[in-house]
Amino acid sequence: MVAKSSPFTPLAARRLGEIIGEVLPAGIVQVISGGDRVGAAMCNHPVPRKVSFTGSIAAGKAVATAAGEDLKRVTLELGGNDAAILLDDIEIDAIVPAVFARAFFNTGQTCAIPKRIYVPRSIYDLVLDAFVACAEAATLGTGAEATMGPLSTAPQYARVSDLVAEAIADGARAAAGGAPVAGPGYWFEPTILTGARDELRVVAEEQFGPALPILPYDTVDEALRRANGTMYGLCGSVWGTDLERAAAVSQRLECGVAYVNSHGAHRPSAPVAGVKWSGIGAEHGLEGLLEYTDPQILFQAPAPVATALV
């Protein structure tokens, strides 16, 4: 196996390769780093028969195209713009901090976390205030006492800044945060947006950062239509007190993994598979392991077959 890291994280990947090398025989796993040219060379090389990629949808399409030229098998775990639907029977004081913690985990730089929150209009103001309180209580820093760190790269910092500024210019309001933090580093305030239209990029695309739009809805059918009205389909969640009702709603989400009163808590034994543009194939679990195998059928007759098979 040859593992290529993100060009932004060569040292961590190299260290992982060193640890693997202490356990497995030399040459079983090799770790390399580099940019797009290295990835393209791996996909185009005739030796690998299987390519597994985790990253953006744009890069995933390029990987699939290159692999398809040689009919290599692919597993793609791509971007997500996960929707979380809050039902009208939620306990706001318990649910909102739980959703906030997941949405801003790793400063929002995780694939399978809530990135769009749909809230019943009847309780919208109360829920919005609760999200704002969570954002204002968040602490920025690099120590163990901090709840949020910086964005990982300059391009991602610029993207989040652009998405938030575009939304505010369009008429959305930053109920909390809404701006970069002055000083060195890629710091951005934990941001809660209200009044954002579904067509805005901060809603329609994956932000991958600390900016969370809170969107009102009038009926559950409407919330599902808007949640499903995208080419993303990684994960989704429904939050409510009536578990049977919440489960019934979650099963109508068009995504690979649906949660009830949780989001992103994967078990290694359970497969993870995105739908639509969020992926091809499965990771984890037996299904994920089988992605790396080729079935062979053995037919053994008890004696030579004398007649031709039709």
Q: What is the rounded average pLDDT for all residues in the chain?
A: 94
Q: Which of 122, 140, 126, 130 is nearest to 97 (CA)?
A: 130
Q: Which residues contact 190 (CB under 8 A, 6 or more apart)?
A: 104, 135, 138, 140, 148, 176, 177, 210
- Give the mean model confidence (pLDDT) for residues 20-47: 91
**Of 111, 134, 235, 255, which one is the catalytic site residue?**
111
pTM of the model: 0.93
Helix (H/G/I), strand (E/B), else coil: 122: helix
Give the burial string for 179-203 (b: 16+ CB within 10 Å, else e): ebeeeeebbbbbbbbbbbeeebebb
- Give the mean model confidence (pLDDT) for residues 123-127: 98
CB-based burial label for 104 (10 Å; 0-12, 13-18, 19+): buried
- Give the mean model confidence (pLDDT) for residues 232-243: 98
- Give the mean model confidence (pLDDT) for residues 86-100: 98
Distances (CA, A) of 80 to 83, 131, 276, 291, 308: 9, 22, 10, 21, 52
Taken in order of first residue, the domains within the chain and their CATH numbers are 2-78+274-290 (3.40.605.10), 83-260 (3.40.309.10)
Residues 246, 239 contacting (CB under 8 angstroms): yes
Percent of the chain with pLDDT over 90: 87
- Give the mean model confidence (pLDDT) for residues 234-240: 98
Instruction: List, for residues 152-170, the tens digit of each pLDDT value.
Output: 999 999 999 999 999 999 9
Percent of the chain with pLDDT over 70: 98
Number of H helices, E strands in the chain: 10, 12
Dist CA 1 CA 39 (whole Å): 14
Q: Which of 208, 228, 212, 194 is nearest to 109 (CA)?
A: 208
Question: What one-letter code names the amino acid at 139?
Answer: T
Sign of the CA dihedral with 224 first, then 164, 154, and 146 last:
negative
Helix (H/G/I), strand (E/B), else coil: 245: helix
Res 121: pLDDT? 98
Query: 76 or 302: which carries more pLDDT confidence?
Result: 76
* Active-site residue, 189 included: no
303 pLDDT exceeds 90? no
Element (H, E) at 57: helix 57-69
Largest Cα–Cα distance in the chain? 84
Q: What is the DSSP letter of 277?
A: G
255 pLDDT exceeds 70? yes
Query: Considering only 110-119, 195-204, 301-310, which range has the smallest mean pLDDT?
Result: 301-310
**Confidence class for position 309, pLDDT limits 50, 70, 90:** low
How far does the chain reach from its first CA to its final CA, in angstroms? 41
Dist CA 112 CA 261 (whole Å): 14
Res 144: pLDDT? 85
**Of 77, 189, 254, 283, which one is the catalytic site residue?**
77
The DSSP bridge pattern shows strands 191-194 and 173-176 to be: antiparallel
Instruction: List, for residues 111-120, the tens digit of each pLDDT value.
Output: 999 999 999 9
Calculate the dihedral angle through the C-alpha atoms of 147, 164, 206, 64, rounding to the nearest 10 degrees. -120
* Active-site residue, 111 included: yes
Q: Which residues contact 232 (CB under 8 A, 6 or more apart)?
A: 79, 80, 81, 82, 206, 255, 276, 277, 278
